[in-house]
Amino acid sequence: MTTATMEKNGSTARGDEQWAHTRMTLYQLLSDFIIYKPSVHLLMKWRRKLENAAWDNEAYSRFKAIIGEPGAASLPAFCAGESREYDVLVGRRQTAGIPLRESFYAGGEAETIACRASAEYDRAGVILNKTAGEKDDELSVELEFMAVLAERMTEGVRSRAEREQLARIQLGFLKRHLLPWVPSFCSEMRKHTESPLYLNLCGIMESLIVSDSEWLGARVED
């Protein structure tokens, strides 16, 4: 093996390791901002966490700038404004806001689709922490499932076969669940907001699931 080839392979491995951690962070980010209203605590938490998450994506760069811009004096007012926007857009428990369930966009029977998602969680051995009685096909739950499995892939003790199996599970879940309906959810979100915070979260979500499906697909042997 030539020195150039070794350097190329090393660069690829470093890129893979970086993306493995970044994708985990992004799924956690998206789940958090669907579950919780923007608050000073939430924004400060994600300012710190995103310092080490590099991704060459326009929506991601804008989002980091948005949450990093308000100073200590203006941050509470910024969060209050975005919290009001959250109430309009998300409206927990769906008395208001944009529907958050896969079943709404997939056009199937709600209980059936939720059961299908739940079966995937069970097969993967994942128990999810539902903080507000979320259904199994809700967006935050499906994103959290991906975050949990993404975290497992970063564990150094995993064998190549284990990592490939985790990649296969995640790729299948993306194809069966998130990829078919997240674009419709984001389209609906864009109709109802002009908030740069939420518009760029939509951009991150759409780009992530496409980029991640390609990355996972490259790690699954036919």
Predicted confidence (pLDDT) per residue in 131-180, tens digit: 778 899 999 999 999 999 999 998 876 788 899 999 999 999 999 999 99
Contact 193, 85 (CB under 8 A): yes
Burial of 206 (0-12, 13-18, 19+ CB in 10 A): middle
Q: pTM for this structure?
A: 0.90
Tell me the pLDDT tens digit for each residue of 81-111: 999 999 999 865 555 679 999 999 988 899 9
Q: 15-217, what's its fold?
A: TorD-like (1.10.3480)
CA separation, residue 76 to residues 1, 68, 71, 82, 162 (Å): 57, 13, 9, 10, 44
Whether 11 shows a pLDDT value over 50: the answer reads no
Whether 9 shows a pLDDT value over 60: the answer reads no
Q: How far apart are CA 124 and CA 110, in angstroms?
A: 22
Domain locations in the chain as residue ranges: 15-217
Share of the chain above pLDDT 90, in %: 77
Query: pLDDT tier at 32 (50, 70, 90 boundaries)?
Result: very high
